[in-house]
Amino acid sequence: MHCCRCVNEPKKYLVFFWMQSEMGKWKEKSEALQKQVDLISQEQQQLRKTAGNDNGTQGLRLLQDEAHCHNHNDLQTAMDKLQEKFLTVMEDKVELMESKELLEYNYTELSKKTKTLGEYVAFYMRHCETLSQRHEEQGNSVRRLQKDNAILTGKVNELQSFADPLSANESDSSVHCSTTKRTNEVMWL
């Protein structure tokens, strides 16, 4: 028996390639965000150059720098959260795939066992049917034998009723024959 992890190894490769594809998409999004950050920093540098000699705009420039840092920090935080969420989703996806593989494996094993149980039930039903047919045949044989026995008993009784008068006559004649025989023997002596 193979475990479900060995049987479904190609699925892991599919998940791996899908994860690489998703990472590529996230990397593209990250690069796009980085380009936006770079554009914003270039704009700020241009603003600094134009307002570089103006002392009144120095405070404004400091505020803009703080806003730029704050904006960059927000983007970095958003990117970190996005990466964490992506990793969490991918881990959940892998767990779900493993769970699915395990369920498929269990389903396959149970279907094999169900098929085996079905075969045993069918065998048992055929065996019971065969036994009931044999029992019925034996019952029919016993009934035929009882019927034949009753017929033969009736014929024996009928023959007995015919034989009784004959045997009574025979016994009278045999007594008579044996008496005559004895008298003949006595006479010879």
Is the separation of the CB atoms in 97 and 15 below 8 Å?
yes
In a domain, 181, yes or no: no
In a domain, 133, yes or no: no
In a domain, 57, yes or no: yes
Cα-to-chain-centroid distance, residue 83? 39
Instruction: Please give the pLDDT value at position 2.
Output: 47
pLDDT > 60? residue 69: yes
What pTM, to 2 d.p., does this model score?
0.35
Per residue in 79-93, pLDDT tens?
888 888 888 888 888
Number of domains comprising the chain = 1
pLDDT > 70? residue 70: no
Instruction: Please give the pLDDT value at position 162.
Output: 84
In a domain, 69, yes or no: yes
**Domain that includes residue 51, residue range:** 4-120
